[in-house]
A and B are shown apart, each in its own frame.
Chain A
Amino acid sequence: GAGVSQSPRYKVAKRGQDVALRCDPISGHVSLFWYQQALGQGPEFLTYFQNEAQLDKSGLPSDRFFAERPEGSVSTLKIQRTQQEDSAVYLCASSSFPGAPYEQYFGPGTRLTVT
């Protein structure tokens, strides 16, 4: 594709609801990353996929967060029983890593607001 796309762009959830955020990476990119960006902060790593394998989920803040990439392309980040502290922008990035040059390309993000 032309770039990384994410949907929805905005999501408002009531506390306790489950949400699913979608990421479509650049076609052919092996690696896919999810980051969380709180207001006024830099993005923080959540999890990383190489093809369909989730190789690093060390940044997921709790067991309410779950990510998958079943066919090695589209990825979904799911948050169960949302809490107010989950309010943030969720960014997805894709890259040719482990193939050079490792540059990451970001989508527009999904802004999640938990009320």
Chain B
Amino acid sequence: KQEVTQIPAALSVPEGENLVLNCSFTDSAIYNLQWFRQDPGKGLTSLLLIQSSQREQTSGRLNASLDKSSGRSTLYIAASQPGDSATYLCAALIYNQGGKLIFGQGTELSVKP
């Protein structure tokens, strides 16, 4: 059974710092891995999607990497800003289970001005 874990559960950093959020999964037979942002009381906003054949994806100040052999993905945020404060969720797509996503519990990020 696929399990997805995110560490740390919460993170507080001063503005301007570069930071890394970690995501690990137990079954390497994933099709892709998706990173989401969730603001309080809101739905999920897709940030980056990495196909299993890819090793990383970049969008602006965000960079996500995927290492299937070690069961890990990281989300790197450069030059953090207070507006980056939110909960970040990673999710693995299990292809042979109808494309459903298995989510981690999230990392709650707070960027202090």
Decide whether A and B assemble into one complex. Answer: yes
A-B contact count (CB 8 A): 75
Q: Are B101 and A108 in contact (CB under 8 A)?
A: no
Main secondary structure of the interface of B (DSSP, over half): strand
Q: Are A33 and B100 in contact (CB under 8 A)?
A: yes
Point out the residues of chain B lying under 8 angstroms from A35, CB to CB. 101, 103
Give the complex CA separation of A107 and B46 in angstroms: 11
Of B13-21, B68-76, B91-99, which binds chain A?
B91-99
Q: Are B46 and A98 in contact (CB under 8 A)?
A: no
Give the complex CA separation of A50 and B100 in angstroms: 12
Q: B40 to chain A: closest CB distance in Å?
A: 11
Q: Are B103 and A44 in contact (CB under 8 A)?
A: yes
Point out the residues of chain A lying under 8 angstroms from B101, CB to CB. 33, 35, 43, 45, 93, 104
Point out the residues of chain B lying under 8 angstroms from A45, CB to CB. 100-102
Q: B21 to chain A: closest CB distance in Å?
A: 13
Could you tell me which residues of chain B, from 71 to 113, have a CB within 8 Å of some CB in chain A? 89, 91, 93, 95, 97-106
Q: A32 to chain B: closest CB distance in Å?
A: 11
Given A42-B104, A48-B100, A56-B100: A102 and B31 interface contact (C-beta under 8 Å): yes
Give the complex CA separation of A92 and B98 in angstroms: 15
Residue B22, interface by CB 8 Å: no
Given A101-B49, A105-B46, A106-B43: A42 and B100 interface contact (C-beta under 8 Å): no
Point out the residues of chain B lying under 8 angstroms from A76, CB to CB. none
Q: Are B105 and A102 in contact (CB under 8 A)?
A: no
Residue B65, interface by CB 8 Å: no
9 A-B pairs, CB-CB below 8 angstroms? A42-B104, A43-B101, A45-B100, A48-B98, A56-B98, A101-B51, A103-B34, A104-B34, A111-B41
Beyond the given A50-B98, A104-B99, A106-B45, please list 7 additional residue pairs across the A-B interface where CB-CB is below 8 A: A45-B100, A59-B100, A91-B44, A95-B99, A105-B46, A106-B43, A106-B46
